[in-house]
Copies of this chain bind each other. A is one copy, B any other.
Amino acid sequence: MIDNSFIELSSNQNQNIKRVRKLKRKKYRDEFQEFILEGIQIIEAAINMSGNIKEVYISEEVHKQENIERIIDLFDERADKYLLEAELFAEISETVNSQGILAVAEMKTCSLDNLIDLEGPILLLAGLQDPGNAGTLIRSASAAGFAGIIALKGTVDIYNPKVIRASMGGIFDLELIKNVDIKDLNKKFINSKRRMIFAEPGAAKPYYDFVFKENDILTIGNEARGLSNEIYELEHESISIPIKGNIESLNAAMAGTILIFEMVRSF
């Protein structure tokens, strides 16, 4: 319910409004360690998965909708709540048909050491560029019970709003680390219990003949270029998904999801 715990904002010169607008850019997301959630479904998922929501912004135009009121009741008292005129809300919104609700959440931080030490498989995003693909893979890894996600430098920002949306809350369910340098990964990886598994269209070994282990790291490369030479030099096992039709390849998110579920079926 909208009550006096809501602060009304009407100026686009307000400091909060300015900051939310900045969060549309990766540079400021990294600087503030915060990101935007937009829409009922993803905000509800964040609450259910104990995502750390700092602020919520509601458009005056929609605040009496039943499903918005239901969500507002879910926020704990630590979240600051703001009510915005419709025009002002439009300035911070990134979606065309906005549902009139947007939240700012804090990034979880996890060190590479901690992530490598966890039990369970890890998904390594190595240069993936499409936010829908990255988000979908995070959703699949979460559904499969993976331990975490590592995103290498040069991968789409996993806090990009489109990634967040496609992850359907998976972003809050997993340990994450981004902007990882391949050299640091190499150092941690040596002497660790983890093997690197590369998904490669041309690899001789089909995925269904490969015996996965519980702490394997599944690596998915760039949609067009695959894996870089630098990654290639890491010790690894290569597997492929055999293609039986005339089509050239699978979508990266599809290929990744097939392998993610293959990895966990035996555990």
Q: A residues engaging B (CB < 8 A)?
A: 45, 48-49, 132, 136, 139-146, 166, 168-170, 173-174, 208, 241, 243-251, 253-254, 257-258, 261, 264-265
Contact = CB atoms under 8 A, between A and B. Distances in A.
Nearest to A48: B246
B136 A245 contact: no
Contact of A254 (B169, B247, B257): B257
A82 B45 CA distance: 50
A251 B247 CA distance: 22
Contacts of A208: 265
What is the oligomeric copy number?
2
Given A145-B245, A244-B264, A264-B244, A251 B139 contact: yes
A246 B140 contact: no
B136 A246 contact: no
A143 B257 contact: no
A49 B247 CA distance: 8
Contacts of A264: 244
Contact of A247 (B173, B243, B247, B253): B173
Given A208-B265, A251-B136, A142 B246 contact: yes
